[in-house]
Amino acid sequence: MNHESSLHHPLNPKFTANPWFGPATLLIAGALQTLTFSPFHLWWLGPVSVFLVLSVTLHQTSDKLFRSGWLVGLGLFASGVSWVYVSISEHGNTPIPIAILLMVLFVAGLALFHGLAFWFWGKLAKQHQIRRLILFPAIWILGDWLRGWLLTGFPWLYLGTAHTDGPLGGLAPILGVHGVTFWIAATGAAAYALWWMFRAGRVKAALATAVLILLPWLIAPVLKKADWTELSTEPQTFATMQGNIPQQIKWDPDFLRDQIVTYLGMTEAHWQSDIILWPETAIPIPQGQAGQIIAHIQEQLGEQSTLITGIPWYGYSAQIDDNTFHNSIIAIGNGDGIYHKQKLVPFGEYVPFQEILRGLIGFFDLPMSSFSPGPKNQSPLRASETNVMPYICYEVAYPDFVAFNARHSGLLLTISNDGWFGDSIGPLQHLQIARMRALETGRYMLRGTNNGVTAIINEKGEIAKRIPQFERAVLTGEVFTAHGSTPYMQTGSWPILTLAVTLIVFVRERVIPRN
């Protein structure tokens, strides 16, 4: 290896010589990323985490990179999504040892995506450390994209999501969350390069790199103030009911009537609101059995009012020439439309390999775990003259899915039942993800949940109003419809993914010859 392809290590050799130093650093670096998200909001730890990752991996031989990437992912997901234990153990009626085992398998499995990305990074860049440094941001976002797509995807804990309140948030309406992530990774890599340049006496190159890497950090806050969409001048009144129904009785037939009475009572003073929102499966029986409930709602609603609610839907599907069961949302009153959830949660809404897994443990037999995905390209709901695009629970985590479906809507809404995750950080992360989708699309996002976090999110991704978790309460406010599209809505993530692929080809084949 020639001296131009080798960078000095920035950390004390006394520490790096310890065989536990590398694995520990990678686990900590992964865990630091969790602190960038809600409820911690330490977004500045993103580049710090990347710097620490590179301090260990940049000098490693290619055969060690898979394990190193896996350790980064393990640190991230063990600290960031271990809340799945609550749904497996407390609500899945699964013995604690088995629940812990399933959680560990879930976390370790997700970490494989980081392992694969780092392995690919090593294969592309070989032992050339400068090439590795340049390619790192591209490899990182391609790994993120793969994780959000393969096997239905798990698009959670993207580094860019932390910048709903960070300085790079202004890039989201242009490049989306992957574009923000790219620049976070690039910043960490540049920090490593700057250390080396100053040490090598390359001051001019260091200053040029610093200016280039800091430019988006300075421009993005200005961009966030830009109005990518035009809001209506007249607001619509909005009310959403947070029923705080305990998960233990949610699907108990003895408590179905009490749940409906609860939501009707909470809506009593708000029937005249323009848009009324009940959360996911607030009506916990299929629409074919809920005729009297729906008729009563229609009678109570004001002439200009629309109530939108989650409800299971069972009926004939021409696509498969059979009856199907969907997790759905319908509009009642001065509006119409029905939407069937497309992105289902594995084990929560459907069970993969159910012929084998059903009956083994309670977690594989959760109530309402036999849903089918809805068809693609569904139309928005209509509330009076406003097109409202709904996303049910987990769907709001898919950036390109949300942006594409938002194109013909003036408002976005998401309903959820985060009672599955108890008093963990999961629901707070979920809220932040919804905020990023609002920022990417330049639209209000109305969020109705069973037990929190229920909120009105404006077109800048800011929380305009919210109510506390774990309380029975009504959130009211005014919302504005949006016209037009952000650049990200038009292009999706393709520009930044294309940039990543182009960077890989250009750097690997032309800028730096192969060793």
Q: What does the pLDDT profile of the chain (515 residues) look like in tens digits?
A: 444 455 666 665 655 567 788 999 999 999 999 999 999 999 999 999 999 999 999 999 989 999 999 999 999 999 999 998 988 887 777 889 988 998 999 999 999 999 999 999 999 988 788 899 999 999 999 999 999 999 889 999 999 999 999 999 999 999 999 999 999 999 999 999 998 888 878 888 888 888 999 999 999 999 999 999 999 999 999 999 999 999 888 888 899 999 999 999 999 999 999 999 999 999 999 999 999 999 999 999 999 999 999 999 988 665 555 678 899 999 999 999 999 999 988 766 655 655 555 555 555 555 555 678 899 999 999 999 999 999 999 999 999 999 999 999 999 999 999 888 889 999 999 999 999 999 999 999 999 999 989 999 999 999 999 999 999 999 999 999 999 999 999 999 999 999 999 999 988 666 554 44
CA distances from 455 to 41, 42, 192, 380, 390 (A): 18, 22, 40, 21, 15
How many angstroms separate the CA atoms of 406 and 388, rounded?
A: 8
So what's the pLDDT on residue 510? 61
| Cα gap 145→466, rounded to integer Å | 31
Contact 274, 237 (CB under 8 A): yes
pLDDT at 19: 79
d(CA 133, CA 192): 8
User: Which ranges constitute the DSSP H helices of 35-64?
Assistant: 45-57
* Helix, strand, coil shares, percent, the chain, to 5: 50, 15, 30
Distance (Å, whole) CA 210 – CA 207: 5
The encoded tokens of residue 197 equal: 């340049």
What are the tokens at 481? 């419809």
Cα(66)–Cα(73) distance, integer angstroms? 11
Residue type, 456: I
How far apart, in whole angstroms, are the C-alpha atoms of residue 428 and residue 43? 15
* Predicted local distance difference test score (pLDDT) of residue 1: 43
Q: What is the pLDDT of residue 2?
A: 46
Burial-class residue 194 by CB neighbours within 10 Å (0-12, 13-18, 19+). Answer: middle
Identity at 472, one-letter amino acid code: R
pTM of the shown model: 0.93
Backbone angles phi, psi at 188, to 5 degrees: -60, -40
Upper half-sphere CA count for residue 395 (Cβ side, 13 Å): 31
177 prior amide bond cis, ω within 30? no
pLDDT of residue 104: 95
Q: How far apart are the first and last CA of the chain?
A: 7
- Reference 323, options 355, 287, 356, 377; nearest CA is 287
Catalytic residues: 280, 341, 393
Please, are residues 119 and 125 in contact by the beta-carbon 8 Å criterion? no
Chain centroid offset of residue 134 CA: 27
The HSE-up count of residue 186 (CA atoms within 13 Å, CB side) is: 23
Contact 267, 245 (CB under 8 A): no
Beta bridge partners of 456: 446, 465
The answer to whether 458 and 138 are in contact (CB under 8 A) is: no
Cβ neighbours around 268 below 10 Å, total: 9
Burial of 220 (0-12, 13-18, 19+ CB in 10 A): buried
Residue 470 φ/ψ region, left for φ over 0, alpha for ψ in the -120 to 50 degree band, beta for the rest: left
Helix locations, 316-443, DSSP H = 354-357, 399-405, 426-441
Distances (CA, A) of 176 to 181, 230, 317, 342, 371: 9, 19, 34, 21, 30
Other CB atoms closer than 10 Å to residue 35's CB: what's the count? 19
Length of the chain in terms of residues written: 515
